[in-house]
Structure 1
Amino acid sequence: MKLKKIPYDLTVCKLSDSVQIDLSKDFYFIGKTDEELSLVCKTEDVPSILLERDDGWKGFRIQGVLDFSLIGILSKLSGILAENNIGIFAVSTFNTDYILVKSENFEKAMLVLEKAGYEIEV
């Protein structure tokens, strides 16, 4: 399985409303529930008005389109990282999964995943 590095720094944010989100940007995730509104975006694109932010994330995506019938892909990746004391923040799109780790753990994460047989694409 191939993993592709995301080439920019990311930030996880908590917002009070969606007005500040610039939907013209090329990379962001929005999560909204009855309890909160979260945004993951490039650090350079963080809105000026927000409730909280957590900088210092790097990420990678699982390459290709993952069929919904596939089971355990995210579980296996997160298990390998957990065994190596690397916490994650995972988000998914219709096609695939993205895993974010803190910047200071990113190179270690790539090394342990490569050692486990994953191909890392830059």
Structure 2
Amino acid sequence: MELKKIDYNFSVCKVKDYSQTDFDSEYCFTGKTDDEKSLVCLTGSVPNNATACEHGWKAFKIQGVLDFSLIGILSKISTLLADNKIGIFAISTYNTDYILVKQENYDKASKLLVEAGYKFV
């Protein structure tokens, strides 16, 4: 399985609304429920109306388009990192998955993934 390092800093935020969100940014992930609006964006694009924000995340992208019939890809990666005391924030899009880890764990996570047979492109 191939992974790609995303060379940006990310922030995970709660926002009042999406009116100040830069949807044209290279990376912008939203999630909305009946009681919360969340945003994951480049740290430099955090909107002024964020009500809570956790900075200091880095990301890996699982390369390629992942068919919905594929099972366990995210589970294997998250288990490997969890077994080594590295928490994740996972995001799925229609085509693929992104794994965010805290910046201080990024190099350790990269090394663990390579040792487990994952390749970075």
Q: In 1, distance between residues paired with 2:35 and 2:6?
A: 29
Which structure 2 segments of 5+ residues have no match? none
Q: In 1, distance between residues paired with 2:111 and 2:23?
A: 34
Which structure 1 segments of 5+ residues have no match? none
Secondary structure class of the residue paired with 1:87: coil
Aligned pairs, number: 121
Tell whether the 8 Å contact from 2:17 to 2:49 is kept in structure 1 after alignment: no
Name the residue aligned to 1:19.
19
Name the residue aligned to 2:70.
70
Secondary structure class of the residue paired with 1:74: helix
Name the residue aligned to 1:113.
113
Residue 50 of structure 1 and its aligned partner are, at CA, apart by 1.2
Tell which deviates more after alignment, 52-61 or 23-32: 23-32
Q: In 2, distance between residues paired with 1:35 and 1:91?
A: 19
TM-score, reference length from structure 2: 0.98
Name the residue aligned to 2:43.
43
